[in-house]
Amino acid sequence: MNEQHRPGVVHETGGGVYTVVLDNGQRVHASIRGRLKQQQRTGSRVVIGDQVQMKVEGEVATIESVNDRRTELVRRGRGRAAKILAANLDRVFVVIALREPRGSTQLIDRMLVLVEASGMQPVLVLNKADLKATEPDAEAWAALYRSVGYQVLVTSAPSATGISELHDEMCSGISALIGPSGAGKSTLLNVVDPGLELSTGALSRKTGTGRHTTVGSRLITLECGGLVADTPGFGDVGLWSVDPETVGSCFPEFAEMSQDCRFRGCTHLHEPGCMVREALEEGRIAASRYVSYQNLRREAKEQDGY
Ligand SMILES: Nc1nc2c(ncn2[C@@H]2O[C@H](COP(=O)(O)OP(=O)(O)O)[C@@H](O)[C@H]2O)c(=O)[nH]1
Ligand SMILES: [Mg+2]
Ligand SMILES: [Zn+2]
Protein backbone atom coordinates (compact mmCIF):
# COMPACT_ATOMS: atom_id res chain seq x y z
CA MET A 1 0.00 0.00 0.00
CA ASN A 2 1.36 3.41 -0.77
CA GLU A 3 2.54 5.13 2.32
CA GLN A 4 2.86 8.90 2.58
CA HIS A 5 4.72 10.98 5.10
CA ARG A 6 3.39 14.49 5.39
CA PRO A 7 3.35 17.38 7.86
CA GLY A 8 0.02 18.61 9.20
CA VAL A 9 -1.66 20.77 11.86
CA VAL A 10 -3.94 19.37 14.58
CA HIS A 11 -7.37 20.98 14.21
CA GLU A 12 -9.46 18.91 16.62
CA THR A 13 -8.85 16.76 19.65
CA GLY A 14 -11.22 14.82 21.87
CA GLY A 15 -12.00 11.24 22.75
CA GLY A 16 -8.69 9.96 21.48
CA VAL A 17 -9.36 11.06 17.89
CA TYR A 18 -7.31 13.78 16.26
CA THR A 19 -8.38 15.67 13.19
CA VAL A 20 -5.34 16.80 11.27
CA VAL A 21 -5.21 19.03 8.19
CA LEU A 22 -2.33 17.92 6.00
CA ASP A 23 -0.12 20.30 4.03
CA ASN A 24 -2.05 19.37 0.87
CA GLY A 25 -5.31 20.52 2.50
CA GLN A 26 -6.64 17.02 3.12
CA ARG A 27 -8.46 16.54 6.44
CA VAL A 28 -7.83 13.19 8.12
CA HIS A 29 -8.86 11.52 11.36
CA ALA A 30 -5.78 10.18 13.03
CA SER A 31 -4.69 8.21 16.03
CA ILE A 32 -1.35 8.64 17.70
CA ARG A 33 1.58 6.33 17.57
CA GLY A 34 2.19 4.03 20.53
CA ARG A 35 5.19 5.82 21.90
CA LEU A 36 3.44 9.20 21.81
CA LYS A 37 0.53 7.67 23.69
CA GLN A 38 2.92 6.89 26.50
CA GLN A 39 3.92 10.57 26.65
CA GLN A 40 0.26 11.59 26.68
CA ARG A 41 -0.10 9.88 30.04
CA THR A 42 2.85 11.72 31.50
CA GLY A 43 1.39 15.07 30.57
CA SER A 44 2.79 16.16 27.23
CA ARG A 45 -0.33 15.88 25.13
CA VAL A 46 -1.00 16.50 21.48
CA VAL A 47 -3.11 19.67 21.39
CA ILE A 48 -4.81 21.88 18.82
CA GLY A 49 -2.33 23.96 16.88
CA ASP A 50 0.38 21.32 17.11
CA GLN A 51 2.43 20.81 13.99
CA VAL A 52 2.82 17.09 13.49
CA GLN A 53 4.48 14.60 11.19
CA MET A 54 1.96 12.16 9.79
CA LYS A 55 2.03 8.75 8.22
CA VAL A 56 -0.91 8.09 5.92
CA GLU A 57 -1.57 4.63 4.51
CA GLY A 58 -4.80 4.51 2.58
CA GLU A 59 -7.51 5.30 5.13
CA VAL A 60 -5.27 4.99 8.14
CA ALA A 61 -3.55 8.11 9.45
CA THR A 62 -1.13 8.16 12.36
CA ILE A 63 0.56 11.03 14.19
CA GLU A 64 4.20 10.00 14.28
CA SER A 65 5.77 12.94 16.05
CA VAL A 66 5.09 16.49 17.27
CA ASN A 67 7.30 19.41 16.28
CA ASP A 68 8.71 21.78 18.89
CA ARG A 69 6.14 24.42 19.77
CA ARG A 70 6.60 28.15 19.20
CA THR A 71 4.15 28.97 21.97
CA GLU A 72 2.02 27.12 24.51
CA LEU A 73 -1.05 28.46 26.27
CA VAL A 74 -0.83 26.76 29.64
CA ARG A 75 -3.43 26.52 32.37
CA ARG A 76 -1.83 25.86 35.70
CA GLY A 77 -4.46 24.50 38.03
CA ARG A 78 -4.79 24.73 41.78
CA GLY A 79 -2.97 21.63 42.89
CA ARG A 80 -3.53 20.03 39.49
CA ALA A 81 -1.02 19.31 36.77
CA ALA A 82 -0.46 22.10 34.26
CA LYS A 83 -2.54 21.62 31.14
CA ILE A 84 -1.58 22.86 27.70
CA LEU A 85 -4.70 24.20 26.03
CA ALA A 86 -3.32 25.14 22.62
CA ALA A 87 0.01 25.28 20.82
CA ASN A 88 1.54 27.74 18.37
CA LEU A 89 -0.94 30.54 18.98
CA ASP A 90 0.04 33.74 17.22
CA ARG A 91 -2.13 36.00 19.37
CA VAL A 92 -4.49 35.85 22.30
CA PHE A 93 -7.41 38.24 22.75
CA VAL A 94 -8.56 38.83 26.29
CA VAL A 95 -12.26 39.64 25.93
CA ILE A 96 -13.89 41.55 28.79
CA ALA A 97 -17.39 43.02 28.77
CA LEU A 98 -17.75 46.58 29.99
CA ARG A 99 -21.17 45.56 31.32
CA GLU A 100 -23.34 42.44 31.57
CA PRO A 101 -21.26 40.91 33.02
CA ARG A 102 -19.41 43.98 34.16
CA GLY A 103 -15.66 43.69 33.97
CA SER A 104 -13.14 45.07 36.42
CA THR A 105 -9.49 45.99 36.32
CA GLN A 106 -8.90 43.05 38.67
CA LEU A 107 -10.41 40.66 36.16
CA ILE A 108 -8.57 42.25 33.23
CA ASP A 109 -5.25 42.07 35.05
CA ARG A 110 -5.81 38.45 36.04
CA MET A 111 -6.42 37.47 32.42
CA LEU A 112 -3.51 39.50 31.07
CA VAL A 113 -1.22 37.85 33.62
CA LEU A 114 -2.35 34.38 32.61
CA VAL A 115 -1.43 35.07 29.00
CA GLU A 116 1.85 36.76 29.96
CA ALA A 117 2.72 33.74 32.12
CA SER A 118 2.50 31.63 28.97
CA GLY A 119 5.01 33.97 27.32
CA MET A 120 2.57 35.64 24.95
CA GLN A 121 1.47 39.25 24.41
CA PRO A 122 -2.27 39.58 24.93
CA VAL A 123 -4.51 42.01 23.04
CA LEU A 124 -7.23 43.49 25.25
CA VAL A 125 -10.76 43.60 23.80
CA LEU A 126 -13.26 45.75 25.70
CA ASN A 127 -16.63 44.53 24.42
CA LYS A 128 -20.25 45.71 24.67
CA ALA A 129 -19.27 49.35 24.17
CA ASP A 130 -22.88 49.98 23.09
CA LEU A 131 -24.12 49.45 26.66
CA LYS A 132 -23.70 52.96 27.97
CA ALA A 133 -22.46 53.46 31.46
CA THR A 134 -20.53 56.04 33.39
CA GLU A 135 -18.63 53.30 35.23
CA PRO A 136 -16.49 51.76 33.91
CA ASP A 137 -15.41 54.13 31.19
CA ALA A 138 -14.11 52.30 28.11
CA GLU A 139 -11.83 55.17 27.16
CA ALA A 140 -10.22 55.40 30.58
CA TRP A 141 -9.50 51.68 30.60
CA ALA A 142 -8.25 51.76 27.03
CA ALA A 143 -5.88 54.62 27.93
CA LEU A 144 -4.61 52.81 31.03
CA TYR A 145 -3.80 49.58 29.20
CA ARG A 146 -2.33 51.35 26.19
CA SER A 147 -0.02 53.23 28.53
CA VAL A 148 1.18 49.89 29.88
CA GLY A 149 1.94 48.88 26.30
CA TYR A 150 -0.98 46.66 25.38
CA GLN A 151 -2.92 46.86 22.15
CA VAL A 152 -6.56 47.60 23.03
CA LEU A 153 -9.67 47.20 20.86
CA VAL A 154 -13.02 48.65 21.92
CA THR A 155 -15.78 46.59 20.31
CA SER A 156 -19.52 46.21 20.08
CA ALA A 157 -21.22 43.36 18.27
CA PRO A 158 -24.57 45.03 17.45
CA SER A 159 -23.01 48.19 16.03
CA ALA A 160 -19.97 46.37 14.56
CA THR A 161 -17.65 48.82 16.31
CA GLY A 162 -14.04 47.67 16.17
CA ILE A 163 -15.01 44.54 14.24
CA SER A 164 -12.99 45.25 11.10
CA GLU A 165 -9.87 45.71 13.24
CA LEU A 166 -10.57 42.46 15.06
CA HIS A 167 -11.22 40.73 11.74
CA ASP A 168 -7.95 41.95 10.25
CA GLU A 169 -6.02 40.75 13.27
CA MET A 170 -7.48 37.25 13.03
CA CYS A 171 -6.97 36.53 9.33
CA SER A 172 -3.49 35.09 9.60
CA GLY A 173 -2.12 32.40 11.87
CA ILE A 174 -3.90 31.08 14.94
CA SER A 175 -5.79 33.28 17.42
CA ALA A 176 -7.55 32.53 20.66
CA LEU A 177 -10.26 34.48 22.48
CA ILE A 178 -10.27 33.95 26.21
CA GLY A 179 -12.42 35.61 28.81
CA PRO A 180 -15.29 34.97 31.16
CA SER A 181 -18.48 33.33 30.01
CA GLY A 182 -20.92 35.90 28.64
CA ALA A 183 -18.26 38.46 27.65
CA GLY A 184 -19.25 37.98 24.01
CA LYS A 185 -16.49 35.80 22.53
CA SER A 186 -18.80 33.68 20.37
CA THR A 187 -20.90 36.69 19.37
CA LEU A 188 -17.81 38.60 18.21
CA LEU A 189 -16.70 35.63 16.12
CA ASN A 190 -20.15 35.42 14.53
CA VAL A 191 -19.94 39.08 13.56
CA VAL A 192 -16.42 38.65 12.20
CA ASP A 193 -17.56 35.65 10.17
CA PRO A 194 -21.36 35.25 9.93
CA GLY A 195 -20.97 31.80 8.36
CA LEU A 196 -19.83 30.36 11.69
CA GLU A 197 -23.21 30.37 13.46
CA LEU A 198 -21.69 29.66 16.86
CA SER A 199 -24.20 29.30 19.65
CA THR A 200 -24.31 32.26 22.01
CA GLY A 201 -25.98 33.54 25.12
CA ALA A 202 -27.67 31.88 28.05
CA LEU A 203 -28.41 28.64 26.23
CA SER A 204 -24.84 27.80 25.34
CA ARG A 205 -23.80 28.69 28.85
CA LYS A 206 -26.40 26.66 30.67
CA THR A 207 -26.13 23.31 28.95
CA GLY A 208 -22.49 23.37 28.00
CA THR A 209 -23.11 20.26 25.93
CA GLY A 210 -25.19 21.69 23.10
CA ARG A 211 -24.80 21.22 19.41
CA HIS A 212 -21.65 23.21 18.86
CA THR A 213 -20.21 23.18 22.33
CA THR A 214 -17.21 20.95 22.20
CA VAL A 215 -16.24 18.19 24.53
CA GLY A 216 -12.81 18.45 22.99
CA SER A 217 -11.04 21.40 21.43
CA ARG A 218 -10.92 22.62 17.88
CA LEU A 219 -9.59 25.22 15.52
CA ILE A 220 -12.32 27.15 13.74
CA THR A 221 -11.36 28.12 10.19
CA LEU A 222 -12.47 31.62 9.26
CA GLU A 223 -13.49 32.42 5.72
CA CYS A 224 -10.48 34.71 5.43
CA GLY A 225 -8.16 31.81 6.25
CA GLY A 226 -7.34 32.57 9.88
CA LEU A 227 -7.73 29.92 12.55
CA VAL A 228 -9.36 30.48 15.94
CA ALA A 229 -8.86 28.15 18.88
CA ASP A 230 -12.01 27.01 20.66
CA THR A 231 -11.61 25.01 23.85
CA PRO A 232 -13.87 24.55 26.86
CA GLY A 233 -10.85 25.48 29.02
CA PHE A 234 -11.02 29.16 28.02
CA GLY A 235 -14.09 29.87 30.12
CA ASP A 236 -13.02 28.76 33.59
CA VAL A 237 -10.26 31.31 33.98
CA GLY A 238 -10.97 31.58 37.70
CA LEU A 239 -9.24 28.25 38.08
CA TRP A 240 -5.98 29.37 36.50
CA SER A 241 -3.04 30.24 38.62
CA VAL A 242 0.50 31.50 38.32
CA ASP A 243 3.74 30.80 40.15
CA PRO A 244 4.20 33.60 42.77
CA GLU A 245 7.75 34.36 41.65
CA THR A 246 6.64 35.03 38.07
CA VAL A 247 3.68 37.30 38.85
CA GLY A 248 5.87 40.43 38.86
CA SER A 249 7.34 39.73 35.44
CA CYS A 250 3.78 39.48 34.06
CA PHE A 251 3.32 43.23 34.70
CA PRO A 252 5.37 44.75 31.87
CA GLU A 253 5.52 48.23 33.41
CA PHE A 254 7.11 46.80 36.57
CA ALA A 255 9.91 45.06 34.70
CA GLU A 256 12.08 48.05 33.90
CA MET A 257 11.86 49.61 37.37
CA SER A 258 12.37 46.38 39.27
CA GLN A 259 15.91 46.19 37.89
CA ASP A 260 16.77 49.11 40.14
CA CYS A 261 15.13 47.77 43.30
CA ARG A 262 17.71 47.64 46.08
CA PHE A 263 17.26 43.91 46.69
CA ARG A 264 17.52 41.30 44.07
CA GLY A 265 14.34 39.21 44.02
CA CYS A 266 12.43 42.18 45.53
CA THR A 267 8.76 41.25 45.95
CA HIS A 268 7.75 44.95 45.69
CA LEU A 269 5.60 44.43 48.78
CA HIS A 270 7.59 45.75 51.73
CA GLU A 271 11.31 46.00 50.91
CA PRO A 272 13.10 49.33 51.35
CA GLY A 273 14.49 50.88 48.17
CA CYS A 274 11.76 49.38 46.00
CA MET A 275 11.53 51.28 42.72
CA VAL A 276 8.13 49.81 41.87
CA ARG A 277 6.59 51.24 45.03
CA GLU A 278 8.35 54.53 44.40
CA ALA A 279 6.82 54.63 40.92
CA LEU A 280 3.43 53.84 42.45
CA GLU A 281 3.76 56.75 44.87
CA GLU A 282 4.76 59.07 42.05
CA GLY A 283 1.83 57.93 39.91
CA ARG A 284 3.92 56.29 37.22
CA ILE A 285 2.29 52.95 38.03
CA ALA A 286 -1.52 52.83 38.28
CA ALA A 287 -2.87 52.01 41.73
CA SER A 288 -5.29 49.47 40.26
CA ARG A 289 -2.41 47.58 38.66
CA TYR A 290 -0.50 47.45 41.92
CA VAL A 291 -3.58 46.20 43.79
CA SER A 292 -3.97 43.45 41.19
CA TYR A 293 -0.34 42.53 41.63
CA GLN A 294 -0.75 42.23 45.40
CA ASN A 295 -3.87 40.12 45.06
CA LEU A 296 -2.52 37.81 42.38
CA ARG A 297 0.70 37.33 44.26
CA ARG A 298 -1.06 36.55 47.51
CA GLU A 299 -3.36 34.16 45.70
CA ALA A 300 -0.44 32.45 43.98
CA LYS A 301 1.27 32.01 47.35
CA GLU A 302 -1.81 30.36 48.78
CA GLN A 303 -2.01 27.79 46.00
CA ASP A 304 -1.06 24.26 46.77
CA GLY A 305 2.05 22.90 45.22
CA TYR A 306 4.20 26.04 45.34
N1 LIG B 1 -25.23 44.66 23.98
C2 LIG B 1 -24.30 43.77 23.59
N3 LIG B 1 -24.50 42.46 23.85
C4 LIG B 1 -23.53 41.58 23.45
C5 LIG B 1 -22.37 42.00 22.77
N6 LIG B 1 -21.62 40.92 22.51
C7 LIG B 1 -22.28 39.86 23.02
N8 LIG B 1 -23.46 40.25 23.57
C9 LIG B 1 -24.44 39.39 24.25
O10 LIG B 1 -23.83 38.79 25.40
C11 LIG B 1 -24.33 37.48 25.61
C12 LIG B 1 -23.17 36.50 25.74
O13 LIG B 1 -22.49 36.42 24.51
P14 LIG B 1 -21.62 35.13 24.09
O15 LIG B 1 -21.07 35.43 22.75
O16 LIG B 1 -22.42 33.88 24.23
O17 LIG B 1 -20.48 35.15 25.19
P18 LIG B 1 -19.27 34.11 25.41
O19 LIG B 1 -19.70 33.27 26.57
O20 LIG B 1 -18.09 34.94 25.75
O21 LIG B 1 -19.09 33.34 24.14
C22 LIG B 1 -25.25 37.18 24.43
O23 LIG B 1 -26.58 37.34 24.87
C24 LIG B 1 -24.87 38.22 23.40
O25 LIG B 1 -25.95 38.55 22.58
C26 LIG B 1 -22.21 43.42 22.52
O27 LIG B 1 -21.22 43.90 21.95
N28 LIG B 1 -23.20 44.24 22.95
MG1 LIG C 1 -19.20 31.28 23.75
ZN1 LIG D 1 10.77 46.22 44.29
Domain residue ranges of the chain, discontinuous segments joined by +: 3-66, 72-239, 244-302
Burial (CB count <10 Å: 0-12, 13-18, 19+), residue 240 = buried
Confidence of residue 216 (pLDDT cuts 50, 70, 90): confident
Calculate how far, in angstroms, residue 19's C-alpha sits from the geometric centre of ligand 1. 29
Identify whether the C-beta of residue 217 lies closer than 8 Å to the C-beta of residue 186.
Answer: no
Ligand index nearest the alpha carbon of residue 285: 3
**79: number of Cβ within 10 Å:** 10
Confidence of residue 211 (pLDDT cuts 50, 70, 90): very low
Query: Which amino acid is located at 34 in the chain?
Result: G
| % of the chain beyond a pLDDT of 90 | 68
Fold of 72-239: Rossmann fold (3.40.50)
Ligand index nearest the alpha carbon of residue 248: 3
Q: Tell me which residue has its CA closest to atom 24 in ligand 1.
A: 201
Identify whether the C-beta of residue 192 lies closer than 8 Å to the C-beta of residue 163.
Answer: yes
Ligand 1: list residues with CB < 6 Å.
127-128, 130-131, 156-158, 179, 181-187, 200-201, 204
Average pLDDT for 64-76 = 90
Q: What pTM was estimated for this model as a whole?
A: 0.91
Q: Where does 244-302 sit in CATH, by number?
A: 1.10.40.50
DSSP the chain: --EEEEEEEEEEEETTEEEEEETTS-EEEEEE-HHHHHHHHTT----TT-EEEEEEETTEEEEEEEPPPS-EEEEB-SSS--EEEEES-SEEEEEEESSSS---HHHHHHHHHHHHHTT--EEEEEE-TTS--SSS-HHHHHHHHHHHT-EEEE-BTTTTBTHHHHHHHHSSSEEEEE--TTSSHHHHHHHH-GGG----HHHHHHHSSSSS--SSEEEEEPTTS-EEEE-GGGT-GGG-B--HHHHGGGSHHHHHHHTTSSSTT--SSS-TT-HHHHHHHTTSS-HHHHHHHHHHHHHHHHSTT-
Confidence of residue 80 (pLDDT cuts 50, 70, 90): low
* Ligand 1 atom index nearest CA of 180: 20
Ligand index nearest the alpha carbon of residue 258: 3
- For residue 303, pLDDT over 90 is answered with no
Confidence of residue 20 (pLDDT cuts 50, 70, 90): very high
Confidence of residue 54 (pLDDT cuts 50, 70, 90): very high
Instruction: Work out the mean pLDDT of the chain and round it to a whole number.
Output: 88
| Size of the chain, expressed as the number of residues it contains | 306
Name the residue among 171, 51, 165, 72 with its Cα closest to residue 120.
72
Calculate how far, in angstroms, residue 103's C-alpha sits from the geometric centre of ligand 1. 13
- For residue 67, pLDDT over 50 is answered with yes
Residues 180-196: b if buried by 16+ CB within 10 A, e if exposed: bebbbbbbbbbbbbeeb
CATH value of 3-66 in 2.40.50.140, 3.40.190.10, 3.40.640.10, 3.10.20.600: 2.40.50.140
Residues 5-42: b if buried by 16+ CB within 10 A, e if exposed: ebebbbbbbeeeebbbbbeeeeebebebeeebeeeeee
Interval 142-177: pLDDT, tens: 999 999 999 999 999 999 999 999 999 999 999 999
Name the pairing type of β-strands 122-127 and 60-66.
unpaired
